[in-house]
Amino acid sequence: MIIEANVSSETNRCQEHLLSLIHGVREKGRTGPYSMAEIKSILTSEIWCADSVKPWVSYKESCYERNSIYKDESIEILCLCWKPGQKSTIHDHVGSNCGVKVLEGVCREKFFTVVNESQLLVRESKKAISYNPGQITLSHPGSVHQLENPGESGLISLHVYSPPLGVMPEYKVT
Ligand SMILES: [Fe+2]
């Protein structure tokens, strides 16, 4: 479901709030991609909780599910839903700033250093961190990481990318 869709009044309130958040950042006079600080300010809004993104919650058996909440030429906001054990590839963000907020469940982030750029080989660089609901993690464009649901129930996470995410390279551990 994309934000322009015709939806319930509860969802409309959420969408209006989201649009005012985005436009509020824009009114500061900037154009182009959002900074990390702007992404963090969007994620910090109290509007975001498992209830407010309910219209975008859906899971898939084969892989974590990506549900688009909003997208324009500068920013993309997604609700990702992960069943227990589901994980992302090891990836970077192809030039996009990235912010993630956990809304329900637990998210574990692993961090990697590139060993061989042309062969996309990495090694784990530091201890993994687990995030609980309300916690935020930010990734700069060149950062290589992997997210997973280590818990025994569903994980719902909110992801902001600016500019919108391109095709992510898939790294392998050497
Ligand atoms: Fe990522």
Which is more confidently placed, 113 or 74? Answer: 113
* Residue 113 CA to ligand 1 centre (angstroms): 14
Neighbours of 77 (CB within 10 A): 26
Q: Which of 78, 79, 60, 143 is closest to 109 using CA atoms? A: 143
Strands (E), 7-96: 65-71, 76-82
Q: Which CATH architecture has domain 9-173?
A: Sandwich (2.60)
Question: pTM of the predicted model, to two decimals?
Answer: 0.87
Query: What's the gap in Å between 143 CA and the centre of ligand 1?
Result: 8
Dist CA 21 CA 61 (whole Å): 33
pLDDT at 27 over 90: no
Distance from residue 46's CA to the centre of ligand 1 (Å):
23
Highest mean pLDDT range out of 26-30, 70-74, 120-124? 120-124
Asked whether the CA dihedral 71, 101, 48, 31 is positive or negative, the reply is negative
pLDDT digits (tens, 9 = 90+) for 103-143: 999 999 999 999 999 999 999 998 999 999 999 999 998 89
Provide the CA 37 distance to its chain's centre, in angstroms.
15
Q: Over the chain, what is the mean pLDDT?
A: 88
pLDDT digits (tens, 9 = 90+) for 83-98: 999 999 999 999 999 9
Q: Provide the residue ranges of all domains of the chain, joining segments of one domain with +.
A: 9-173
99 CA to centre of ligand 1 in angstroms: 8
